[in-house]
C-alpha cells in the first residue's frame, strides 16, 4: 500500500482548514483565536453526518453513540501491511498514555474491504489493539458512499502474482470532538506525542 495516496484527499482538507503557522501548528482562519493543533484543523467540515454503518456485531452506529468522547475515525483494511496496524497501534498507545482520561477516547476502524473483512475478522483485529475499539463494516455500496462523503480515496491494486489484491487508500485519521463535530485530520506518520497533545487539547474542551 502506498500511504502517499493520502495526499489526494489531504490537499482538499488542507485547503478547507487553512494555513499553518511558522511553528508548524495548524490553525483555522474561521477561528483565528482558537487553539493551534499539530494535525490539520478542519473545524467546520461536515463529515460526521455521513458516518452510519453497522459494527461487527451488526448494530448500526453513528457518532451520536459516542457523544462526550473524542472520536478518531480511520479508514483501512485488516490485511494492510503497514499504515493500518501502525495507526491503530498508535491510538492504543495514546489511550494508554491518557490514563483514566483514556475512557473518553473512542477509536473507530471503518473497513474499506468488506469483501474480506468479515465481522469475525474485524472483531479480532480491533480488539487485538484495544478491547474498546469499534469496527464498522457496510456493504460495498455503503462503504463507497461513506468514503466519498469523507473524501477518502481507495482503490484495489492487483497482486503481483495475479492472486489477491491490496488497497491504496487515504492514510490519515479524522478526529471529532465530544459534540460530534469534525475538528482534525491527522496525517499518517505524525507520531504519537503530537497526536496525543491534540487529543488532550480536545478533551480539555477546545
pLDDT 10s digits, 135-157: 999 999 999 999 999 999 999 99
Taking the CA atoms of 71, 126, 196 and 43 in sequence, report the sign of the dihedral they define: negative
All three cell numbers of 90, joined, read 498508535
All three cell numbers of 174, joined, read 479524522
Q: 171: which DSSP letter?
A: -
Q: What is the residue-averaged pLDDT of the chain?
A: 87
Q: Is 58 left (phi over 0), alpha (psi -120 to 50) or beta?
A: left
25 vs 68, higher pLDDT: 68
Is the CB of residue 52 less than 8 Å from the CB of residue 153? Answer: no
All three cell numbers of 76, joined, read 483501512
Domains contained in the chain, CATH given: 3-158+165-203 (3.40.30.10)
pLDDT at residue number 18: 38
All three cell numbers of 206, joined, read 477546545
169 is in an annotated binding site: yes
Is the CB of residue 134 less than 8 Å from the CB of residue 105? Answer: no
DSSP string, 22-62: TTS-B--TTSTTS--BSSEE-TT---GGG--EEBTTS-EE-
Question: Any residues with CB less than 8 A from the CB of 100 and at least 6 apart, and which?
Answer: none
Query: End-to-end CA distance of the chain, in Å?
Result: 35
All three cell numbers of 166, joined, read 491490496
pLDDT 10s digits, 174-190: 999 999 999 999 999 99
Mean pLDDT, residues 12-21 taken together: 40
pLDDT 10s digits, 33-69: 667 899 999 998 988 888 999 999 999 999 999 999 9
In percent, the amount of the chain with pLDDT more than 70 equals: 83
pLDDT 10s digits, 83-99: 999 999 999 999 999 99
80 is in an annotated binding site: yes
Length in residues, the chain: 206
54 vs 4, higher pLDDT: 54
Give the pTM.
Answer: 0.85
Q: Would the pLDDT of 193 be above 60?
A: yes
Amino acid at each position: 500500500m502506498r500511504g502517499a495516496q493520502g495526499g489526494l484527499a489531504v490537499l482538499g482538507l488542507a485547503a478547507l482548514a487553512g494555513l499553518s503557522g511558522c511553528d508548524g501548528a495548524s490553525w483555522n482562519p474561521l477561528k483565528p483565536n482558537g487553539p493551534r493543533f499539530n494535525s490539520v484543523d478542519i473545524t467546520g467540515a461536515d463529515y460526521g453526518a455521513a458516518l452510519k454503518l453497522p459494527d461487527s456485531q451488526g448494530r448500526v452506529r453513528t457518532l451520536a453513540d459516542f457523544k462526550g468522547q473524542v472520536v478518531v475515525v480511520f479508514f483501512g483494511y485488516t490485511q494492510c501491511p503497514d499504515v493500518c496496524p501502525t495507526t491503530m497501534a498508535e491510538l492504543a498507545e495514546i489511550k494508554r498514555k491518557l490514563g483514566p482520561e483514556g475512557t473518553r477516547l473512542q477509536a473507530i476502524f471503518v473497513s474499506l474491504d468488506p469483501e474480506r473483512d468479515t465481522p469475525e475478522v474485524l472483531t479480532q483485529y480491533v480488539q487485538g489493539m484495544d478491547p474498546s475499539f469499534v469496527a464498522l463494516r457496510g456493504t460495498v455500496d455503503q462503504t463507497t458512499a461513506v468514503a466519498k462523503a469523507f473524501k477518502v480515496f481507495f482503490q484495489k491494486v492487483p497482486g503481483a502474482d495475479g492472486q489477491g489484491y491490496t488497497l491504496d487508500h487515504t492514510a490519515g485519521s479524522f478526529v471529532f470532538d465530544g459534540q460530534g463535530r469534525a475538528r482534525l485530520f491527522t496525517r499518517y506518520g505524525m507520531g504519537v506525542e503530537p497526536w496525543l497533545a491534540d487529543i488532550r487539547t480536545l478533551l480539555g474542551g477546545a
